Chains A and B, each alone.
Chain A
Amino acid sequence: MNKLSLLSVLIVAVLSMVSCTKKEISSEKVLNLVVGSEVKGMDPIYSNDRYSSNETARVYESLLEYHYLRRPYQLSPNLAEAMPEVSNNGLTYTFKIRKGVKFHDDKAFPGGKGRELVAEDFVYSIKRLADPKLQGLGWWTIDGKLKGLNEWREKNTASETVNYDEVVEGVKALDSHTLQFTLVKPFPQFLYSLAMTFTSATAKEVVEFYGKEFLNHPVGTGPFILPEFKQSNRIEYVKNPNYREKTFPCDATEEFEKIAKEYCGKKLPLVEKVIVSIIKEDQPRWLNFQKGNLDFIGIPKDNFDAAVTPSNELASDLSTKGIDLLIQPSLDVTYTAFNLDLELLKNKKLRQALSLSYDVNTSNKLFYNNRALPAQSLVPPGIAGYEKDFKNSYRGHGKEDEIERAKKLLAEAGYPEGKGLKELTYDCPSSTVSRQIGEYTKQQFAKIGVKIKVVQNTWPELQKKIDTRQVEIWSIAWGADYPDAENFLQLLYGPNKVPGANGSGYNNPEFNRLYESASTMQDTPERTALYEKMTRMAAEEMPWIFGVHRQNYVLKHSWLKNYIITDFEAGTEQYLDVDVEAKKVALEKL
């Protein structure tokens, strides 16, 4: 009898626990996101790929951000109180920092309480990005731009310890909440770099407290908190209870006015929790979305035909479930890069021949469902410097005469029918589609007798290989850091060679000179003309085989509110909302 009652008590207890947890999950606003690759770590100065910088930006904040509801993209103040005052000569930028912004509570601070953010934190964070001992991967964004910073970097390269106390003229705190940048020469894109994750505010005591482990202990001022970062397949952020009074924007461009009206003035962030799942493969990602475990995803290529009709509409079985389709061209370019440090690949005719042999139309059909735009050079449509009617004369489409030309070029390069050319190594990330693209490239090159070996790598492994120059040919893509062609052209600027973003190591004095003069100019027709000249130059020299400009096809569930496709995703999850009631109803249907 006694045993039986104990058992029934246990059963009731278990049952009530189950129901309790269930209730808890459904009444909390949780955002379920997905990332398609391993995340390197949570240190702003190393967040040079989209995956890491998206994660880092949930915790850290920068001075500026992109206005969530405005297109074309426009900068707006974030940790800065307002847009900066710029001196007449375009060299001095003075920021007022927001008052009362607190760092997350952490044991690195005295008493475990996060202290107030001051201008000095930015001075420290910028210097940290420039620290020669740390080799921050975002150094290129400010390299040669701020007065005295390069000298400071050089001076500290030789010395034992890096002296952060020395005042650098280029980045100074005038008082506790006033920050001043002084540039070497006018550089209008400088403001964009202040919206990037690299320049977000970090606290000196936290960096010193954790030392090397700082990578795994993000402490910022942002809307979400991550107590510790572990390499696992799930990252869970919770809302920052002490987040400053930041509210949803009320002004918007026409297409987003409805969102602005509905959410204007609401306190951010809108959700309690952000759960990021790391799912590398397309199919699990797709199935998880269909089960409602993810709030939105890009459509995997193999599910494309099932999800989108030929007239660009959503398939009916998905739309009845309340799923929405969003389409937007993205500011990016895919490419196959050559390592130009190698004597062999310095041969321009060889590169041109390889590009001509590569049939871009078929690759568009096989890997992008014919929805991408074949790239003629490196600047994508939507920003100045892109020429709609420009055709790259070394762009291959699988035509007979192109192959003949490619063969001729290959012979002129010194390798008739590929004779005398060694087998080249082609590195790609390890996903199935990347490998298939590699195999496709192999087929294309084989048409003119050039042999390659396809090698798969994990994403960090590939990055490392590029940085240590252990690559010959590799495939990769670039998404815009800011909406300016300069951001693409810098990929070919000689002094930006690794560890900068110029992975191929292209170094052409003429190109460098044009880049240098264009990068100091305001947005004028003259600058656009320079940009166009440079893109044409790249199209002639072929340091890469240009791939495609992709389009974003995103599916989202009905319960996700305010989602907008953006090329600058970092930090935008604070604007997203989850309608818990609608989610309950919608989940029934899935």
Chain B
Amino acid sequence: MSSNVQSKSLWRHAFEQLCKDKLALTSLIIVAVYAVVAILVACGVLASDWEKSVGPSYNPPSLEHPFGLDIFGMSVWAKTLKGTEVAMSVGLVTSLISITIGVTLGALAGYFGGKIDEGIVWFYTTFTSIPYIMLVVAIAFILGKGLMTVYLALGLTSWVSLCRLIRGEVMRHKDREYVQAAGAIGGGDMRKLFIHILPNVLHIVIINFSLSFQTAIKSEVILSYLGLGVQGRPSWGIMIDDAKLELARGVWWQLAAATLAMLIVVLAFNILGDALRDALDPKLKGK
């Protein structure tokens, strides 16, 4: 009970601190806007006609089409929005996969120690030695190339750092008085671990979430640029791939749009991640 009250005040405290930081608040709003755009695109409200040719090939930016048109006369603005959907969904799904795996394994390893710990540590050290591009190629071989492959490959390769952090944190917490108290009134291992310890390490997960989100976005762009990522729909990476040929004929707007869209969201996530850490990490409190 007492831990519950304490954590609540921690969250409220963090939120208040976040609101005081104008830059962080702006970042939060930007991320929210991207999220809303992604949802609207996914529902088909926005950019549903991205495949439609709306003018001549390579028409430069104009009032009607602020980001210009691409080789097929498609609106680069619509493609950027469609790319937002891909980027945000990759960020979200990848982070969720990596958090689920990382938190579960990290908590188990930290709490039980011994053979389980050794096993999990061995597993993740082995696993990190596989470069994620190799894994993408391997998964693509089984599932075929596409969005699902990107989700899985990035999710399966990005959980290790979180797992390490959670493992260490759980080790620190498992002998604390409140956990002992929980044991004394008859709580089992699972109850102690998931009901009592986990809420106390949740801030790490939140910070990690915002950082892995933007890493995933960047990785998706790289994969799509290399032709290993999403297929047959716009993505910022594919737009940059198009642009590398177009630049020779002076068509810069596709590159600009994709880079700008990515820059803003990645920057916002980075600032937000830092601010969250300042607000949530007890060690940094009072600074």
Contacts and interface: CB of A to CB of B under 8 A. Distances in A.
> Are A and B bound to each other?
yes
A456 interface: yes
Given A302-B249, A453-B231, A456-B227, A439 B72 contact: yes
Nearest to A286: B248
A455 B190 CA distance: 46
Residue of A283, A303, A430, A432 contacting most chain B CB atoms (<10 Å): A432
A454 B231 contact: yes
Contact of B242 (A436, A438, A443, A455): A436
A454 B51 CA distance: 14
A400 to B, nearest CB: 15
Given A432-B241, A436-B71, A439-B72, A453 B246 contact: no
Interface string A131-172: 000000000000000000000000000000000000000000
B134 to A, nearest CB: 15
Interface in A503-551: none
Interface in B11-31: none
A365 B57 CA distance: 10
A286 B245 CA distance: 11
A432 B244 contact: yes
B164 interface: no
Interface string B234-254: 000010011011111100000
A300 interface: yes
Contacts of B241: 432, 435
A306 interface: yes
A438 B227 CA distance: 13
B231 A455 contact: yes
Interface size, A (range): 20 to 34
Nearest to A281: B244
Nearest to A442: B232
B194 to A, nearest CB: 42
A432 B242 contact: yes
Contacts of A300: 245, 248
A430 B245 contact: no
Residue of B53, B241, B248, B249 contacting most chain A CB atoms (<10 Å): B248
A365 B72 CA distance: 11
B144 interface: yes
Interface in B191-206: none
A14 interface: no
B242 to A, nearest CB: 6
Given A282-B245, A435-B227, A443 B51 contact: yes
Contacts of B57: 365-366
Contacts of A301: 245
B174 interface: no
A446 B51 contact: yes
B65 interface: no
A455 B144 contact: yes
Contacts of B242: 432, 436
Given A432-B241, A436-B242, A453-B231, A305 B249 contact: yes
A306 B145 contact: no
A433 interface: yes
Contacts, number: 55
Contacts of A282: 245
Interface string A466-493: 0000000000000000000000000000
A397 to B, nearest CB: 16
Interface string B139-153: 000001100000000
Contact of A302 (B51, B72, B246): B246
A439 B248 contact: no
Nearest to A426: B232
Given A283-B244, A432-B244, A454-B231, A366 B145 contact: no
Nearest to A435: B227
Contacts of B238: 435
Residue of B53, B231, B238, B246 contacting most chain A CB atoms (<10 Å): B231
A440 interface: yes
Contacts of A440: 72
A521 B247 CA distance: 52
A281 B226 CA distance: 12
A200 to B, nearest CB: 34
A433 B248 CA distance: 14
Interface in B56-86: 57, 71-72
Nearest to B238: A435
Contacts of B247: 283
Interface string A302-316: 110110000000000
Contacts of A446: 51
B72 A443 contact: yes
Contacts of B231: 453-456
Contacts of A439: 72, 232
B227 A302 contact: no
Contacts of A286: 248
Contacts of A442: 232
A403 to B, nearest CB: 14
Interface in A435-468: 435-436, 438-440, 442-443, 446, 452-456
A440 B231 CA distance: 13
A362 to B, nearest CB: 9
Contacts of B245: 282-283, 300-302, 432-433
A366 B70 CA distance: 11
Contacts of A305: 249
Contacts of B227: 430, 435, 456
A432 B249 CA distance: 15
Contacts of B71: 366, 436
Residue of B53, B145, B232, B238 contacting most chain A CB atoms (<10 Å): B232
A454 B227 CA distance: 11
Contacts of A452: 232
A453 B232 contact: yes
B256 to A, nearest CB: 17
A454 B246 CA distance: 21
A286 B247 CA distance: 13
Contacts of B72: 366, 439-440, 443
A90 to B, nearest CB: 50
Contacts of A443: 51, 53, 72
Interface in B89-135: none
Nearest to B70: A436
Interface in A247-282: 281-282
A338 to B, nearest CB: 19
Nearest to A305: B249
A303 B245 CA distance: 8
Nearest to A453: B232
A418 B227 CA distance: 28
Nearest to A429: B227
A308 to B, nearest CB: 13
Contacts of A365: 57
A455 B71 CA distance: 19
B166 to A, nearest CB: 38
A118 to B, nearest CB: 46
A286 B53 CA distance: 30
B248 A303 contact: yes
Nearest to B232: A454
Nearest to B251: A302
Given A300-B248, A433-B245, A442-B232, 13 more contacts: A282-B245, A283-B247, A283-B248, A302-B246, A302-B248, A306-B249, A432-B241, A432-B245, A435-B227, A439-B72, A440-B72, A455-B232, A456-B231
14 contacts: A281-B244, A283-B245, A283-B248, A286-B248, A302-B245, A302-B248, A303-B249, A365-B57, A430-B227, A432-B244, A436-B71, A443-B53, A443-B72, A452-B232
What are the nearest 9 A-B pairs in CB distance? A456-B227, A302-B245, A302-B248, A454-B232, A430-B227, A303-B248, A302-B249, A453-B232, A432-B241
